[in-house]
Amino acid sequence: MIMKFLVLHGPNLNLLGMREPGIYGNQTLADINFLLDELSAELGCEITPVQSNSEGELIDAIHSSVHDCHGILINPAAYTHTSIAIRDAIAAVGLPCVEVHLSNIHSREPFRHTSLIAPVAIGQISGFGHESYLLGLRALFSRAKNF
């Protein structure tokens, strides 16, 4: 059976490429999804990427993933620091989840140092630019096999 993963991109990540490139890099979201697709082909899994600027849509995507996904790779963006609702949705579906960030949230402003998502994730990968996503997918793939 082929493993399938929901890849969730939170608010403002649709602007990657033009958004504060000194912090988030020059890759667009399409570039990152393309690289994730290439890696999934290499690993032998499938990804469904979803980007939303709305908390409710991200929660709906998490709820739907329980029917056909084996795990969640999420960059919750600013909702990392604020959303009890996204955290509760991840806990509710019970799927293995890896949290990723392009920037190192721990070396930035103090309000970014807290993640409400981290306690319900297997782990967090932060600070490696677009490679955070690729490292995150590898980690999720290897953990989800044994979940």
Q: Which residues bind ligand DQA (CB under 6 A)?
A: 12, 75, 77-78, 80, 101-103, 105, 112
Active site residue 24: yes
- For the chain, state the CA radius of gyration: 14
Min dist. Cβ of residue 45 to ligand DQA (A): 22
User: Distance between CA atoms of 45 and 141, rounded to whole angstroms?
Assistant: 8
Q: Which of 70, 101, 130, 133 is catalytic?
A: 101
Nearer to ligand DQA, 44 or 110 (CB): 110
Q: Which of 24, 70, 79, 133 is catalytic?
A: 24
- Which residues, in sequence order, are CB contacts of 34 under 8 Å at separation 6+? none
DSSP conformation letters of 33-71? HHHHHHHHHHHTEEEEEEE-S-HHHHHHHHHHHHHH-SE
Structure tokens belonging to residue 74 = 């999420």
Min dist. Cβ of residue 99 to ligand DQA (A): 9
Min dist. Cβ of residue 70 to ligand DQA (A): 23
Active site residue 101: yes
Catalytic residues: 24, 101
